[in-house]
Structure 1
Amino acid sequence: MKTGLILLAAGSSSRLGSPKQLIEFQGKKLLQKAVEEGLKSKVDSMVVVLGWNPELIKSSFDPKKTPFVVNTNWEEGMASSMQTGLRFLMEKEDPDQVILMLCDQPFVDVSLLDRMILDKEEPRKGIVACAYSDTLGVPALFDKHYFEELMALKGSEGAKKVILSHVEEVIAIDFPEGEIDLDTKEDLIRIQKLFPSTEE
């Protein structure tokens, strides 16, 4: 089974006021850390989806080692960026399954990504999703059966819509840290208190 990883990093961080991709967390920029965890994992291919100010954001990882694609329609919302990444992997790598990952969940690491791939091998279910805050969400792994549905999402719709439409086909992994993302200044203040080394 070939696994692709789509790392979404296209947004402008308008609610935060500065690019979240470049926020420092535990000595590394968020996007840099996410790329490194992806590269260490058992995925077979990977693409970073950029959008807002791609030249600036690209500075946080080595574009020679990690393929990237720019979504010129990033302002349309999450669906457009995810589909840009999925289309890229389908054309270049033809994966059997893909993991969708956001760059602003700082606790996603190689062990979680590898566990998702491993869990998917066991029961015959098509989706692996993370469970936190009484819901299911990303990171999430989808096998090829769901690609068409992912490609049909619109605007701000994300992978969660597909996950919740097929709950009986989901393997859930407890990942309480998944609720910690960095969308607002309040989120940043909260994580700075928990982890004082975090900087803007």
Structure 2
Amino acid sequence: MKPDGPANRIAGLVLAAGAGHRYGGPKAPVFLGQALRVLRDGGCDPLIAILGAGARQTRAVVDLEGVQVIDNPFWAEGMASSLRLGMTTAARLPGISAVCVHLVDMPGVSAAAVARLLAHAHVGCLTRAYYDGEPGHPVVLGRNHWAEVAATARGDQGARAYLRRRAAHVTVIECGDVAAGYDIDER
């Protein structure tokens, strides 16, 4: 099922709330604009950005026109709180069948990789980008999984445990030929 009908819209969700301790400060002011463009150009609509540390600075330097920006007061608890908040936000929007979850600090991800994932998106999907055989982001979570993902997400693990438990149901999409799946902290 393709994300082209009003009942099968795929929300692009950028998790951008962290303090960026290893980076030396919040990453959202530097990388959020690019992450949003990648999701938009890859076919996501609407776009949701979860902010926390550095939210004021991010709003001052990033064009957030047309983006639903949500402040996460619990950002220090880890990525899971932002993921839950993003899925809750998407659940309130009409026609959203899945969320494409992208991390703000992965500048090597391309719109082509996002589009590949969205080609497999539907309410029951669990779809994950792989780079040269290694799991990465983005991850597309179909609406049917949101409640259980939210219930099992902890700390900085996000949906990792859920995806591991449901590994037989995860559609793996190799994206290493069109993108790079590194985290900025790995460079």
Q: TM class, shorter-chain normalised?
A: 0.7 to 0.9
1:37/1:53 CA distance change after superposition, 3 Å:
same
Cα distance per residue 1:22-57 (max 9 Å; x no partner): 34xxxxxx2111111222232221100001121102
Q: Do structure 1's residue 16 and structure 2's residue 23 form an aligned pair?
A: yes
Matched residues in 2 for 1:125 and 1:149: separation? 12
Code of the residue aligned with 1:182 in structure 2: it is I
Q: Which runs of 5+ in 1 are unaligned?
A: 24-29, 191-200
* 1:50-199 equivalence runs, <5 A: 50-120=51-121, 126-132=125-131, 135-152=134-151, 153-176=153-176, 177-178=180-181, 180-183=182-185, 187=186, 190=187
1:2 — aligned with what?
9
CA contact (8 A) 1:120 1:171 kept: no
State the match for 1:196 in structure 2.
none
Deviation at 1:145, TM superposition (A): 1.5
CA contact (8 A) 1:125 1:169 kept: no
TM-score of the superposition, structure 2-length normalised? 0.84
CA distance in 2, matches of 1:74, 1:94: 27
The amino acid across from 2:98 in the alignment is: Q
Instruction: Report the residue type matching 1:111 in the other structure.
Output: A
Q: Distance in 2 between matches of 1:155 and 1:119?
A: 28
Q: Counterparts of 1:7 and 1:52 in 2: how far apart (Å)?
A: 14
Does the 8 A contact of 2:16 with 2:32 survive in 1? Answer: yes
**1:85 corresponds to which letter in structure 2?**
G
- The structure with the largest alpha-carbon Rg is 1
In 1, the alpha carbon distance for the partners of 2:67 and 2:56 equals: 14
Aligned residue pairs, count: 176
For the residues of structure 1 that align with 2:61 and 2:86, how far apart are their CA atoms? Answer: 19
Q: Which moved more, 1:133-142 or 1:152-161?
A: 133-142
Shift of 1:125: 6.6
CA distance in 1, matches of 2:114, 2:69: 19
CA contact (8 A) 1:31 1:60 kept: no
* Cross-structure match for 2:5: none
